Chain A
Amino acid sequence: MRKASMRRAYGEALAEYGAENPDVAVVVADVSSSVQTGFFAKRFPERFFNVGITEQAMVDVAAGLALGGMIPFANTFAVLFLRAAEQIRTCVAYAKTNVKLVGSYSGMSNFKDGPTHHVECDTATMRSMPNITVFEVADAVEARKAVPVIAEYDGPVYLRISRAEVPIIFDESYEVKIGRGTILRDGSDAALIASGVMVSRCLDAAEKLAKEGIDAYVVNMSSIKPLDVKLVWKLARETGAIVTAEDHSVIGGLGGAVAEALGQESPANLERIGIPDTFTETALSYDELLDHYGMSVERIVEATRLTVERRKR
Chain B
Amino acid sequence: MTNVVYHPEDLVRDLDRIAQSLRIDVVDMIHRRKAGHPGGSLSAAEIVTALIFHHMRIDPKRPGWEERDRFILSKGHACSLLYAALARRGFFPREELKTWGHLGSRLQGHPDRLKTVGVDMTTGMEGHGVAVGAGLCLSARIKNLSYNVYVLVGDGECQCGVLWEGAMIASKYRLSELTVIVDHNHVQLDGPVHEILPVDSLVDKWRAFNFATLEIDGNNMREVLDALDMAREIRNKPTAIIAHTTKGRGVSFMENKSAWHGRPPNDEEYAQAISELRRRLEEL
Contact = CB atoms under 8 A, between A and B. Distances in A.
A47 B166 contact: no
B132 to A, nearest CB: 4
A67 B135 contact: yes
Contact of A87 (B133, B143, B162): B162
A61 B162 CA distance: 11
A87 B125 CA distance: 9
Nearest to A53: B165
Interface in B44-87: 66, 70
B121 A57 contact: no
B162 A57 contact: yes
Interface of A: 25, 46-47, 49, 51-52, 54, 56-58, 60-70, 72, 86-87, 90-91, 94-96
A69 B70 CA distance: 13
Given A61-B131, A68-B135, A25 B142 contact: yes
A63 B165 contact: no
Contacts of A54: 131, 162, 165-166, 168-169
Nearest to A57: B165
B114 A64 contact: no
Interface in B92-131: 112-114, 120-125, 127-128, 130-131
Contact of A57 (B131, B136, B173): B131
A94 B110 CA distance: 12
A94 B115 CA distance: 11
B138 A61 contact: yes
B136 A90 contact: no
Given A54-B168, A60-B128, A67-B139, 16 more contacts: A46-B141, A51-B169, A51-B172, A57-B130, A57-B162, A57-B169, A61-B166, A63-B135, A66-B135, A67-B135, A69-B139, A70-B142, A90-B122, A90-B125, A91-B128, A95-B113
A65 B168 contact: no
Nearest to B125: A90
A60 B133 CA distance: 8
A63 B140 CA distance: 13
A57 B133 CA distance: 11
17 contacts: A25-B142, A47-B142, A49-B169, A57-B130, A57-B165, A60-B128, A61-B134, A63-B128, A64-B131, A64-B135, A65-B139, A66-B139, A67-B136, A68-B142, A69-B66, A69-B143, A90-B124
B142 A61 contact: no
A61 B122 contact: no
A95 B122 CA distance: 6
Nearest to B110: A90
Nearest to A27: B135
A72 B135 contact: yes
Contacts of B128: 60, 63, 87, 90-91
A289 to B, nearest CB: 32
Contacts of A68: 135-136, 138-140, 142-143, 145
A19 to B, nearest CB: 15
Contacts of B136: 64-65, 67-68
Nearest to B76: A90
Give the interface SS of chain B, mostly helix, strand, loop or mixed: helix
B90 interface: no
B282 to A, nearest CB: 41
A64 B138 contact: yes
B114 A96 contact: yes
A57 B142 CA distance: 19
Given A94-B122, A95-B122, A64 B133 contact: yes
Nearest to B124: A90
B168 A63 contact: no
Given A54-B168, A90-B122, A61 B113 contact: no
B140 A86 contact: no
Contacts of B198: none
Contacts of A63: 121, 128, 132, 135
A56 B142 contact: no
A70 B139 contact: yes
B114 A61 contact: no
A67 B120 contact: yes
A123 to B, nearest CB: 23
The 10 A-B residue pairs with the shortest CB-CB distance, nearest first, are A64-B135, A68-B139, A60-B131, A57-B165, A54-B165, A95-B122, A57-B131, A61-B135, A56-B162, A64-B132
Contacts of A69: 66, 139, 143
Contact of A56 (B121, B165, B173): B165
Given A69-B143, A96-B114, A62 B168 contact: no
Contacts of B133: 64
A95 B114 contact: yes
A61 to B, nearest CB: 4
- Name, among B131, B161, B172, B173, the residue most crowded by chain A CB atoms within 10 Å (CB to CB): B131
Given A52-B168, A57-B162, A67 B121 contact: yes
Contacts of B130: 57, 60
Contacts of A62: 135
- Name, among A52, A68, A91, A96, the residue most crowded by chain B CB atoms within 10 Å (CB to CB): A68
